[in-house]
Amino acid sequence: MIGEVGHFALALAFAFSALLAVIPLIGVARSHGGQMAIARPLTYGMFIFTLISFIALVWGFLANDFSIAYVANNSNTALPAIYRFTAVWGSHEGSFLLWMLVQASWAAALAVFSKRLPLVFAARVLAVMGMIGVGFYLFMLLTSNPFERTIPLIPVDGRDLNPLLQDPGMIIHPPLLYMGYVGMSVAFAFAIAALLGGRLDSAWARWSRPWTIAAWVFLTLGIMVGSWWAYYELGWGGWWFWDPVENASFLPWLAGTALMHSLAVTEKRGTFKSWTVLLAISAFSLSLLGTFLVRSGVLVSVHAFASDPTRGMFLLSFLGVVIAGSLLLYAIRAAKVQSHSRYDLFSREVLLLGNNLLLVTATMVVLVGTLLPLVHQQLGLGNISIGEPFFDEVFMWLTIPFAILLGFGPLTRWKRQKFAELRNSLLLAMALAVGIGFALPWIFADVISGLAVLGLILALWIVFTTVAELRLRVASREHKWPALVKLGRSHWGMVLGHLGFAVMIIGIAVVQNYEIERTVRMGAGDTANVGGYQFHFRDMQERQGPNFISDSATFVISRENGKHVADVVAEKRFYTVTRQIQTQTALQVNPFRDLYIALGEELDDGSWAVRIHVKPFVRWIWAGAILMAIGGVCSLTDKRYRLRRREEKKARKQNAAEAS
Amino acid sequence: MNPRRKKRLIMTSSILVGAAFATGLVLYALSQNIDLFYTPTEIVQGKGDNEVKPEVGQRLRVGGLVVPGSVRREGSGLTVAFNLIDVGPAEITVEYEGILPDLFREGQGIVAQGILVAPNRLQASEVLARHDEEYMPPGLAEALKGIEHVPPSQQNYNQNNDNQSNDKNNGAEEEGSGGGYDR
């Protein structure tokens, strides 16, 4: 019964989205205030029914309703309750329902927080959200209904959730990532609405900027949690694999980062307008492309026969419609858009243009690396694979100019900057960066790795130029500290974002060049020395979990001088229902290094293959991402974006007048 | 030349130079890092109409089924060797030092990446098994089409419903990062 309610609610949400896509636009065309104003109630309706549908599926999981096929396939009575809840998005249909809930939430948030926008513009934005909704709801109802029944042959128990997903990281990773993915649709909706109205001005940029930043924050955190999850859950000891699924989330992030910076130029200087619109369209299209790649199974060609080809076709057509439609609109409207602004070669505009070009290049590189094997195969040229070294190498080369420009950017004035003014600060920053970049590995490491030094220099360059920028901003003030505080949240957001990037570079440079990995054969009682630590394999015990049996190995870690560090447990779990084996890694963490132990297989004589990693500074990678996200949140809370009472009242009055 | 045109010229040419550099870099990196995929039969008998055999020393990927009973460990170390087969009768030997992925089993499909050290011997740097138990290496699936492959998850599990969609999403949908291979 509840399953049918969920299905019906989903159909109703589709109906609301279809109305939302049409009526407000008719209202705009006929200048009918009431028809425009109905966009909000329709959005709320879409949200509420999607929520009901989602709750119905959650209930199906919590109540072990195995008459719902999706529940039967992804849950089990032995599964702990928290994982029965997260199993809702453990597989295709349910994760798409979560996707829809997120999409509807963004639309509802837009409806609530767009009250100070002109009614015409708000109606257009919400209508575009409705159009996107139509595509996705149709996709769900036609190809991936999560409420399909198993009646009359209801299984006694479910087939259990994929063991990899039975983990706390998986509780938050998909919702965060989806918030980011779908959030790009808001930036897209703003861009399309502006194109429809033919008004691409700095007001439009100011309205869409906080939404873009919000989506970017979620995307950043989503990717970060995913990387962290892969690190400890997959047991390979890596934090990024350039896997197509990862690339699918990285593509919109790169485009979104470019968009965020380009929006700043459009807001502050009124230039780069058509470029910004194009980036907004690309960011969302890349989100859709990512969805298509992950969901249709084209990337791993073996999936093509296992999964439903209609899904892929549907998503591909939807992607085609979105890209073709928005580019057509862009072609018609953007020609009229002109940017009248003059700027010199050495100005913040040009530096941000450089930032954008590099980010777009990075996007292209990831796109080529991800799609080339696919194209190659479709052309009948055989199977190829593009390895991690390709991405690592190209990204290293792209990071160098990117980081250098990043140091210049914030210091430079809009329009025109005399180099002489900055020469001393820049030379000082460079000298410090190079000096300390060489000194740190020389003092702390046994060998000096060239790439680590390069990474450190780039990161320190960003840090010192950021400090120089802050100094410059308060140079003319008498009271330095109060002036620093008064700089504005948006400014601090930028500072934190850039420092986060620097922290991340340090993490990547150090861990890639100084990590130690060793695979050893160990039995109970054996000791291995790796990277200045002793790993003593104390014992092996069998343990019974709720839905798995585990071999748990206890390791005693100590310093080489015998000082005890910690006791950790590494496990090899056998999940009885899915009959899958899963490695649980043992981790001992501090801010400067991770000790990582993964159990391999048991060997003939009862000893085990054990992989031990010592990973210095690996936490800094995720810390950097968190810092960037905090920067984003900081910008969001800037005064400019808070509802300005008077302005809001004025807009409301005007909207009410139009609506009546 | 007036200053505006000069500025445009500088900007356009620097963008062009940058683009050329980036393209060159990408192409160079690609040429270094593309690995061709072979099946064991293709390694032994040659690939395509011209029967091109890979050269010894070439870096490549090979996918096939682990021949049951062929997995053997050498000495007290962690070196393991096993044979791979596709449609037969050609077999190749893969040597690997390290930890095999959780999903590695005899009779299961795997992909190994490494360097060909002899015409039928691969020194693997990486062994991958698909998380999806339905997995068979690309190409191999085509060659073997029609052979019923029973995933281990169904071997002992009494599946008393005949819902079609069960087979579609059996553990195949991982969310987020790392959802590809198991190594």
Please choose, from the candidates A293, A423, A439, the residue with its C-alpha nearest in 3D space to the C-alpha of residue A367.
A293
DSSP state of B79: E
Cα separation, A632 vs A613, in Å, equals: 33
Higher pLDDT, A658 or A470: A470
Per-residue pLDDT at A358: 94
What number of residues does chain A have? 660
Q: Is the pLDDT of residue A305 over 70?
A: no
Which of B18, B102, B113 faces A583 most closely, judged by CB atoms?
B102
Task: Give yes or no for a contact between A428 and A464, defined as CB atoms under 8 angstroms apart.
Answer: yes
Q: What share of chain A is helix, strand, coil (3-state, %, to 5)?
A: 65, 10, 20
pLDDT-based confidence at residue A111 (cuts at 50, 70, 90): very high
β-bridge pairing B121-130 and B91-97: parallel
Per-residue pLDDT at B146: 38
Please choose, from the candidates A584, A581, A607, the residue with its C-alpha nearest in 3D space to the C-alpha of residue A597.
A584
Residue with tokens 């209609």: A310
CA dihedral A220, A223, A228, A233 (to 10 degrees): 160
In single-letter form, the type of residue at position A291 comes to T
Per-residue pLDDT at A306: 39
pLDDT in tens, A249-291: 999 999 999 999 999 999 888 888 888 999 999 999 999 988 8
Per-residue pLDDT at A296: 67
Cα separation, A303 vs A283, in Å, equals: 27
Cα separation, A302 vs B145, in Å, equals: 11
Chain A nearest-CA distance from B34, in A, is 5
Q: For residue B6, what are its two tokens?
A: 């000069």
Please choose, from the candidates B58, B57, B56, the residue with its C-alpha nearest in 3D space to the C-alpha of residue B37.
B58
Beta bridge partners of A550: A543, A573
Contacts of A427 (CB under 8 A, 6+ apart): none
Return the minimum-mean-pLDDT range out of A47-51, A85-89, B61-65, B104-108.
B104-108
Higher pLDDT, A226 or A379: A226
Chain B nearest-CA distance from A148, in A, is 9
Higher pLDDT, A318 or A651: A318
pLDDT in tens, A572-614: 999 888 788 888 899 999 999 999 999 988 887 888 889 999 9
Per-residue pLDDT at A407: 92
Which of B76, B134, B174 faces A165 most closely, judged by CB atoms?
B174
Closest B-chain CA to A296? B173
Cα separation, A399 vs A363, in Å, equals: 13
Max CA separation in chain A (angstroms): 85
Residues of A numbered 109-138 whose beta carbons fall under 8 angstroms of chain B's beta carbons: which are they?
none
Please choose, from the candidates A434, A499, A507, A428, the residue with its C-alpha nearest in 3D space to the C-alpha of residue A466.
A499
β-bridge pairing A593-602 and B72-73: unpaired
Cα separation, A356 vs A508, in Å, equals: 22
pLDDT-based confidence at residue A445 (cuts at 50, 70, 90): confident
pLDDT-based confidence at residue A656 (cuts at 50, 70, 90): low
Across residues A112-127, what is the average pLDDT? 91
Task: Give yes or no for a contact between B64 and B124, defined as CB atoms under 8 angstroms apart.
Answer: no
Q: What is the ipTM of this complex?
A: 0.73
Task: Look at the domain B36-148 and name its fold.
Answer: OB fold (Dihydrolipoamide Acetyltransferase, E2P) (2.40.50)
Cα separation, A530 vs A537, in Å, equals: 13
Residue with tokens 């229902």: A577
B161 vs A contacts (CB less than 8 Å): 69, 72, 150, 153-155
Q: How is chain B split into domains, by residue range?
A: 36-148
- Strand (E) or helix (H) holding B169: none
Cα separation, A303 vs A306, in Å, equals: 5
Q: Is the pLDDT of residue A545 over 70?
A: yes
Q: Do A390 and B30 touch (CB under 8 A)?
A: yes
Q: Quick check: A144 contacting B, CB < 8 Å?
A: no
Question: How many CB atoms lie under 10 A from the CB of residue A128?
Answer: 26
Q: Is the pLDDT of residue A493 over 60?
A: yes
Q: Quick check: B34 contacting A, CB < 8 Å?
A: yes
**pLDDT averaged over every residue in chain A:** 88
Cα separation, A15 vs A89, in Å, equals: 24
Beta bridge partners of A518: A612
Q: For residue A179, what are its two tokens?
A: 């918030």
Per-residue pLDDT at B1: 64
Which of A92, A382, A519 faces B169 most closely, judged by CB atoms?
A92
DSSP state letters, B103-119? T--TT-EEEEEEEEEET
Q: What share of chain B is helix, strand, coil (3-state, %, to 5)?
A: 25, 30, 45
Per-residue pLDDT at A127: 96
Whole-structure pTM value: 0.89
Dihedral sign from CA coordinates of A313, A319, A321, A324? negative
- Residue A648 main-chain phi, psi, to 5 deg: -65, -45
Give the burial class of A602: count Cβ atoms within 10 A of its Cβ; 0-12 exposed, 13-18 middle, 19 or more buried: middle
Residue with tokens 């705009």: A28
Contacts of A60 (CB under 8 A, 6+ apart): A2, A3, A6, A68, A70, A71, A147
Omega before B89 cis (within 30°)?
Answer: yes
Across residues A326-351, what is the average pLDDT? 83
Q: Is the pLDDT of residue A352 over 50?
A: yes
Sheet holding A586-590, edge to edge: A516-522, A608-616, A593-602, A586-590
Residues A292-298: contacts with CB under 8 Å, at least 24 apart: A292/A316, A292/A319, A293/A244, A293/A245, A293/A248, A293/A370, A294/A244, A294/A245, A294/A248, A294/B179, A295/A92, A295/A96, A297/B172, A298/A374
Q: Is the pLDDT of residue A529 over 70?
A: yes
- Strand (E) or helix (H) holding A24: helix A2-30
Across residues A97-107, what is the average pLDDT? 95
CA dihedral A642, A644, A649, A655 (to 10 degrees): -60
Task: Give the pLDDT means over successive 10-residue stretches in chain B (183 positions).
Answer: 78 88 89 84 82 84 87 80 85 89 81 89 85 49 46 40 36 37 50
Beta bridge partners of B64: B110
What crossing angle do the helices spanning A119-143 and A168-197 adopt, rounded to 10°?
A: 130
Strand spans (E) along B26-144: 34-38, 59-66, 72-73, 79-85, 91-97, 109-118, 121-130
Chain A nearest-CA distance from B138, in A, is 6
Q: Do B175 and A165 touch (CB under 8 A)?
A: yes
Q: Which residues of B are annotated as a binding site for heme?
A: 131, 135
Across residues A521-541, what is the average pLDDT? 91
Cα separation, A468 vs A422, in Å, equals: 9
Per-residue pLDDT at A421: 82
Dihedral sign from CA coordinates of A599, A600, A602, A605? negative
Per-residue pLDDT at A549: 92
Instruction: Work out how many CB contacts closer than 8 A connect A with B.
Output: 220
pLDDT in tens, A52-72: 999 999 999 999 999 999 999
B5 vs A contacts (CB less than 8 Å): none
Which of A223, A297, A368 faces B26 most closely, judged by CB atoms?
A368
Q: Quick check: B24 contacting A, CB < 8 Å?
A: no
Q: How is chain A split into domains, by residue range?
A: 1-166, 516-619
Q: Give residue A297's Cα distance to chain centre.
A: 20
Cα separation, A286 vs A192, in Å, equals: 16
Cα separation, A308 vs A296, in Å, equals: 8
3-state secondary structure A81-126: HHHHHHHHHCCHHHHHHHHHHHHHHHHHHHHHHCCCCCHHHHHHHH
Closest A-chain CA to B165? A69
